[in-house]
Amino acid sequence: MLLGNRVIYTVSNKMAVMADKRCWSALYVGLTLAVLLTLPHASDAQTWCTSLIDAFSSYNCVCRPASDSNDVVLDCSNQDLTSVPSMAPGKVLPTALIIHEFILANNSITRLEDNSFQNFRVNALDLSGNSIASVSDGAFDPLIADLRELRMDGNFTEPPKSALNSLKDLEILTLGDYKVNYLGDSDHLYFFSFKHLKRLTLRQWKIIAIEIDAFKGPNSLQSLTLLQEQDMVNLPLDIFTQDYLKNLKNLKISMTSIVEVGEKAFSDSMLNDLEELDLSDNLISDIKANSLEGLGLSLRKLSFASNYLRSDTSDLTGLSNLPRLEELDLSGNEDINVIPDFSQLNLADQTDVKIFLGNNNINTLSSNAFSGIAPRLHTLDLSQNRISSMAPDSFNEMANLHVLRLSQQRGVTTVKFALPSSLSESANSLTHLFLNGLNLDESSVSEVLPHMANLEVLDLSHTGLTQVPNLQKMVNLQELYLTGNSLTFLNQDHLIGPRETLKKLYLSQNPIKLISSCIFAHYTSFPITLALQSVQLECNCSLAWLQRAATNGRINLTHPPLCSNFNIESLLSKNATICPNDDFKDPPCENPYTTTPPPTTPRPPSLTLKLVKVTSNSLTLSWSLSNTVGTLRSFDVKITNSYGNSEFIRNDLHPRFFQVEATPLLPDTQHKVCVIANFQSINSVTECTFIRTEKGSGSGASGQEGDSDSDNAGIIIGAVAAAVLLLIILAAIFYLVVVRRRPKKNSGPTSTPVQPRNFAKSELPSMSEDSRTFTRPKRPVDNHDGMQVVAISDGQVNDRHARNGSARVGRAAMLHSDGSYKLMSAGDSSTEGTSGIGSVSGSQSLYENDRGLLPKTPPYHDHGLRGPRQPGYYNEAFEQDKYDEIDMQREVTV
C-alpha cells in the first residue's frame, strides 16, 4: 500500500485510466511490478519539468519532454552562462528524476568544478560551443552512474584526461577544440578507459598524425569521426590495421588536408564490417587502383563529395568492386566532367544504388553513360553541372529510378533542353523529379512527363513553361513547383489528377491573370499550400473563392497574390471590397473523376412460350411477357418445319393476342415455333421452341423404334442389322456378278420426270448400267452402328433438264434391319416395302433416314458456293462433312 494512486498516476496516465474497479487488484499487482521495474527511468515529463523549472527558476532554461523517451530535456543553451546552472537553495529534485539531455551548448562556460553537477542525474550532457579550459578531476564524478553521452568543446588545450577517465560507461563522446598534434603516443592516450564507447567524434584537435594505439581501449567502437583536422595530410592507415577497430561500421574523416587514398590503402585493414566510409571535404584527387580493396564485402555508403577528383585521368579506377554499394557521393568535384565508368563497381543484382554527381562539371550525357548500373539506379543526382545535351537513350534501362535531379545546369540558358525520350523507361518508378532551372523544350515535356504516374514531387520551377503539364495520371503527386514560368491562367483542366494527394502548389512569379474557382474541384487533399508570390490577379467576384478558402483554412496562401486592380495590394488585405455583389455564384465545376455511366436502356422483357395443344396437323401456342417495359406494338408468329420450310406465318398480331392456333401443319414433323414481340422503342424480342406434331392417322409403323431401345436391344438389333447388311452385300455382289452381265435394258430416262412420284413394286429400281448406288455409312451413334442407308437411283441422274435438284436422286429407299425397305420420296407417308404403295402430298420431295426427315435439298439452280456441287441429294447442313455427303467421288457404279 506504499504505492498509492498518485504514484500510479505518475507512472502512467493511460494505465490509470484503464484501471477498472473490478480488476483493481490484478492491476495493482501488475502496476506494482511495473513501477518497481521501471522506477529509475519512468517519469511524468510534465511533473519533472515543473520541478526542474522551479529548481532553476533564475535561469532561462526550457524543459520539454524528450522525443524518444518518457524523460525530459533541459535546454539551457545560448544563455551566455559562464558556469553550469546551480539549483536554487533549498530545492531538491526527486531522486528518480533523470534529465535525459542537459543542453548547455553555446554558452561561455570555461570551468567545470567538482561540484558543478552535484545532485544531477543526466544521461546526455551537451557542453559544446563553450570554451572549457579547465575541468577539475572530479567534475564528472556525480554523473558517473547515469552519463552515457558527452559533448564538450575545449579551448585548444589538452583534453581533461583525468576527469574523462572516470566516465567508464560512456557510449558516445564528442570532443572539439583541443590540441593534440600527435594523437596516440604514450602521453596522448585518451580513450583507454571507455570500454563501452560506441561512437567517438574528434573535431578540430589540430592533429598532424595519428599513432597506432590512438583509439585503443574501446573494443566495440562502431563509429569514428575525425573532423576539421587541417594539418592532417595522410589517412591514418595504421590504425585501421588494429584489432580494436574491427567492429567499426562508420568511418568519417572530413575537412582535412588528405590528398589521396593510396593504393591498397585498406587492404590490410581490420575494417571488415565497415558500411560507411565518408571522405568528403578533403583534398583528394586520387583514388588509386585497389584503393578500396578490402572494403568490398561490407561497404554500403561511400562519399568522396567535395574533393578534387578528376575524371579526365584514370584517378577513379579505384572505384571498383564494391558489389554492395548503395550510395556513392561524388558531388562537388569540379574536375569530374564526364560520367565515371560505374560498371566496374560490379554491383550485385539485388543492389539499388543512389549516385550523387551534383555540382560537378559534367557537360554531356552520352548513350552508355550508366551502362552496367542503369537498372540498379534508384537515385541519380546530376543537378548543377553543365549538361547541355543528353543522348535520347541516356536513361535506357533505368526502370528502377526513383529520384532524378537534373536541375540547374550552368551556362546553358539559351539552349532549349529536350527531355530524353528514354526517360519514359522510368515513368513507372520515378517519385521525385527535379527539372528546375532547365530551359525546357515544352514538346518533350508533354511527351515524357504525363506518363509519370508515380511522381510525388515534381519541380518545374523556372523552366519556361507556358502550360501546366498534363497531371491526369499523377494521382500520387504531393508537391508541384511551377514557380517562375510563363503561365497566364489556371483552370480546372490543368489540375485534374492529384486530387487526393496534392499538398503544395507553387505558382509564384508567373504572369497569371486568372485562377478558376474550379482548380481544386473534387480535391480531398486540403489544406493545400498555395504560393502566389508576386502574381498579380484581377481581383473581382470570380476570385472571391480564393479569399474564402484562405480564410477558412482550406488553402494556405504562403504568398498571397496581389490585386492588379487594387493598387497592387494583397488579395487578403482587400477582404471587403473584392466582391460587393453578394449574389455572385461561382460557376459550376465539372467532375472529370466519375466516368458517367452510359444511359441505361431498359432491359427488354423476356418471352415465355407455352404449348397449349398439339395435334397431327395443328398446334396451339400461348405466350407471356415478363414485364411491360416497352410499348408493345405487335407479335409475329413463325413456324418452320425441320426441312426449313415455313408452314405458318402471322405477322402484326395485335398486342392483345397471347395465343394462336397454327394449322395446317405437317404431321409427325419437328417444327420450330417462334414468337416475336415487337416494341415501339426497344429491340424486338424473339423466343423459339421446338414442337413435333403428332403422327397422322394414316401413318403406319415407322422405323424409329431403335431410338427408344435400350443399349442391349440396340446391340442385338445392330448385330441383326449387320447380318442383314451382309446378306444385302452378298446380294449386291450377286447382282454385280450375275445381273450386270445381262444385256442392257432399254430403260432410258423418261422425258418429263414427275417428281416425286411413287412407284409400284414392279417399278422398284432394277440395277442397270446407269444405276448408281450411293452408300452412306452412318456415324456410329447410338445403336445404329452397322446400319446403312442405301439410296438407290432409278437412273434419272442423267436428266440434266430437271429443274429441281431433289429430282436427281429420284427415289431413295431405306432398308430396315428386318430386310424390308421404305421408299423415301414423300413427306408424310412412306411406302413400305411390302405394299409398295404410298401417297404423296404437296409438290415437295422429302427424304428421310431412319432418324427422321432430312433437310430439304437446296434447289439445283441455287448452286454456288453453298449449293450442291453436283446434281443429286445434297444436305446443306453437312456441307463440310464429307462423311455424310453423298460424294460423287465415292459413288459406286454398278
Ligand X SMILES: *[C@@H]1O[C@H](CO)[C@@H](O)[C@H](O)[C@H]1NC(C)=O
Q: Site residues (CB under 6 A) for ligand X? A: 77-78, 103, 105-106, 129
Nearer to ligand X by C-beta: 79 or 303?
79
Cβ(378)–Cβ(402) below 8 Å:
yes
Least Å distance between CB 315 and ligand X? 34
How far is 330 from 342, CA to CA, in rounded Å? Answer: 12
Nearer to ligand X by C-beta: 203 or 822?
203
3-class SS of residue 396: coil
Least Å distance between CB 103 and ligand X? 5
Nearer to ligand X by C-beta: 105 or 347?
105
Nearer to ligand X by C-beta: 124 or 316?
124
Nearer to ligand X by C-beta: 129 or 833?
129
Least Å distance between CB 58 and ligand X? 21
How far is 263 from 854, CA to CA, in rounded Å? Answer: 98
Nearer to ligand X by C-beta: 106 or 123?
106
Write the DSSP string, 558-586.
Answer: EE--EETTTTTEEGGGGTTTS---TT--P
What are the distances in angstroms from CA 858 to CA 355, 651, 753, 887?
80, 26, 18, 16
Largest CA distance in the chain: 154
Least Å distance between CB 75 and ligand X? 7
Cα angle vertex 859, ends 856, 862, to 5°?
130
Nearer to ligand X by C-beta: 103 or 487?
103
Least Å distance between CB 24 and ligand X? 45
Of all helices (H) and strands (E), which one includes residue 832?
strand 831-832
How far is 254 from 203, CA to CA, in rounded Å? Answer: 10
Least Å distance between CB 127 and ligand X? 10
Least Å distance between CB 106 and ligand X? 4
Nearer to ligand X by C-beta: 74 or 474?
74
Q: Which three cell numbers stand for residue 638?
A: 413463325
Please report which residue ranges of 198-334 form alpha helices under DSSP H: 237-240
Write the DSSP string, 164-196.
Answer: HHT-TT--EEEEEEE--SEETSTT----TT-TT
Least Å distance between CB 252 and ligand X? 17
How far is 443 from 737, CA to CA, in rounded Å? Answer: 92
CA dihedral sign of residues 565, 566, 567, 569? negative
Least Å distance between CB 88 and ligand X? 24
Nearest to 108 by CA among 139, 86, 129: 129
Nearest to 99 by CA among 78, 79, 75: 75
Nearer to ligand X by C-beta: 130 or 771?
130
Least Å distance between CB 76 and ligand X? 10
How far is 622 from 610, CA to CA, in rounded Å? Answer: 5
- 134-135 and 111-112: which strand pairing? parallel
What backbone phi and psi angles, to 5 degrees, belong to 619? -145, 150
Contacts 24+ apart (CB under 8 A), 289-292: 289/263, 289/317, 289/318, 289/320, 290/263, 290/264, 290/318, 291/261, 291/262, 291/263, 291/264, 291/265, 291/266, 291/318, 292/261, 292/265, 292/266, 292/318, 292/319, 292/320, 292/321, 292/322
Q: Tell me which residue has cell 517562375.
A: 484
Least Å distance between CB 128 and ligand X? 7
Least Å distance between CB 151 and ligand X? 9
Nearer to ligand X by C-beta: 103 or 797?
103
Nearer to ligand X by C-beta: 9 or 156?
156
The DSSP 8-state label assigned to residue 724 in this structure reads H
Nearer to ligand X by C-beta: 78 or 591?
78
Least Å distance between CB 269 and ligand X? 33
Cβ(99)–Cβ(52) below 8 Å:
yes
3-class SS of residue 662: strand
Cβ(659)–Cβ(622) below 8 Å:
yes
User: How distant is the alpha carbon of residue 877 from its chain centre?
Assistant: 50
Q: Which amino acid is at 124?
A: A
Nearer to ligand X by C-beta: 31 or 81?
81
The DSSP 8-state label assigned to residue 697 in this structure reads T
Nearer to ligand X by C-beta: 152 or 532?
152
Q: Which amino acid is at 334?
A: E
Least Å distance between CB 82 and ligand X? 16
Nearer to ligand X by C-beta: 125 or 232?
125
What are the distances in angstroms from CA 405 to CA 438, 503, 812, 842?
11, 21, 89, 91
Whole-angstrom Cα Rg for the chain: 51
Cβ(853)–Cβ(827) below 8 Å:
yes
Nearer to ligand X by C-beta: 102 or 821?
102
The DSSP 8-state label assigned to residue 335 in this structure reads B
Nearer to ligand X by C-beta: 104 or 419?
104
Least Å distance between CB 177 and ligand X? 12
Least Å distance between CB 533 and ligand X? 29
Least Å distance between CB 253 and ligand X? 21
Nearer to ligand X by C-beta: 106 or 845?
106
Least Å distance between CB 81 and ligand X? 12
Beta strands in 394-462 (DSSP E): 403-405, 432-434, 457-459
